[in-house]
Amino acid sequence: MKIDLLYEIAIPKPWHANSESEAYWQTIEQIELADQMGFDTVWEVEHHFLNEFSHSSAPEVFLSAVAQRTRNIRIGHGVTLLPHPFNHPIRIAERIGALDILSRGRVEWGTGRSSQFEQAPFGIHYRESRAMWQEALEIIPRMWREDPFSYEGRYFKIPPRSIIPKPVQKPHPPIWMAATSPESWLLAGKNGIGALGFSFIMNLDEIGARIAGYRGALKEAKPVGAFVNDRVGVFTIVHCAETNQQARDNGAHQAAIWYTLYGVRNIFGDPSAGPDAGGDAPYQEFVDSNPLIKRATQGKLSFEELDRQDSIVVGDPDKCIRKLERYRDLGLDRVLCLMQVGDISHQKVLQSLRLFGQYVIPHFKRLG
């Protein structure tokens, strides 16, 4: 099982004049260290309008800088929002091609469609967003292999053109999908692409069921790419300290709750705030069937509840290893560690990265 990093560039208030600049450069310093510590891939999200939670609206720019400051760690553009007009598929193909060149063939390409809160200002209706995602997903890998490329479909009509530059990786970088609902895990399998889910609010047995569904769907896959990416990963909140008490003192417990409450309300919607507040209406059944998600939307969730079911990975190296072994036993190919979160200081994040590099990552490399 590979150990990755995930960044959303969180900047909790109160802010000062250089808060965003400072957070960006601290994140780059953290990734430079992670490159030395043996992390496999660094993933950077695309989000819009999410004050405090994520100031990462231009990951293609940020990851280009990361590519120049690292040598080994792979570059996960995860996820690119495919519904147009977030991003036109031609522009996505061009940007990923350029990033793969600048990273010397290290790109992992993730895809997604985001929430109603982010879609609405771009003029995207959530009921059309999945169809938009699917059509873009099917044609972008073709743009990397066909020259000239042409297409006529429901959302895009493209006359014959050369889409350049092409990626270094042939036939193209591995393709992934952000998998939130049970249906999205199945959809990833049917498309023959990797699935990236989350565990920070879910029972690990539920993750196991999602993986089983994905593996079943893969058997009947119609791959959108030139090859099947049959790997699965989840992201969760992670903080490692020298002792469990130190992890608490570093603010990891509070950060986990802060992120979970904000994230759940953004992904699944705040029931008290009206239909344009955040989540997709189709997620309501998922919310109702998951007690922890329902408690989180009501602001009643505790750190102990998350810790008890291993939804998050916070503690000393031994505790982190024990928890991640449960993830490995589920059949996960990778865990994406969200370490830059809440009010955990930059120096404490660096220390967490060092402890992972010294103790946790070698443990899983020894296990193969």
> What integer best gives the mean pLDDT of the chain?
91
Q: Lowest mean pLDDT: which of 203-207, 282-286, 288-292, 314-318?
A: 282-286
Closest CA to 181 of 163, 204, 198, 161: 198
Contacts of 232 (CB under 8 A, 6+ apart): 194, 195, 196, 197, 211, 214, 331, 332, 333, 334
Sequence-separated (6 or more) residues with CB below 8 Å from residue 289: none
SS3 assignment, position 195: strand
Nearest by Cα to 142 from 124, 129, 161, 127: 161
CATH code of residue 33: 3.20.20.30
User: Residue 272 pLDDT > 50, yes or no?
Assistant: no
Alpha helices in 192-251 (DSSP H): 204-218, 244-249
Each residue of 283-302: pLDDT tens digit?
A: 565 566 667 776 766 777 78
Question: Looking at residue 307, what DSSP letter applies?
Answer: H
- Report the candidate in 324, 156, 295, 134 with the shortest Cα–Cα distance to residue 237: 324
Q: Is the pLDDT of residue 280 over 50?
A: no
pLDDT value of residue 304? 86
Alpha carbons within 13 A on the beta-carbon side of 259: 31
For the chain, state the CA radius of gyration: 20
CA distances from 17 to 12, 28, 183 (A): 14, 19, 43
Percent of the chain with pLDDT over 90: 78
Q: Counting Cβ atoms within 10 Å, is residue 232 exposed (0-12), middle (13-18) or buried (19+)? A: buried
* Structural domain total, the chain: 1
Residue 220 structural domain? 2-366
Instruction: State how far the Cα of 258 lies from the Cα of 261, in Å rounded to an integer.
Output: 6
What residue type is assigned to position 270 of the chain? D
- Could you tell me the pLDDT band of residue 282, with boundaries at 50, 70 and 90? very low
Mean pLDDT across the stretch 231-257?
Answer: 95
- Phi, psi dihedrals of residue 207, rounded to the nearest 5°: -60, -40
Per-residue buried b or exposed e for 162-193, using 16+ beta carbons within 10 Å of the residue's own CB: ebebbbbbeebbbbbbbbbbbebbbbbbbbbb
Backbone CA torsion sign across 207, 208, 209, 213: positive
pLDDT at position 286 is 59
Looking at the whole model, is its pTM more than 0.75?
A: yes
In this prediction, residues 183-204 reach a mean pLDDT of 92
Whether 129 has a pLDDT exceeding 90, the answer reads yes
CA 284-289-294 angle, to 5 degrees, is: 70
Residue with tokens 């519904």: 83
Residue closest to 283 by CA, chosen among 133, 114, 137, 110? 114
The DSSP result for 145-173, as a single string, is H-SSEEEE-SS-EEEEE---SPPSSSS--
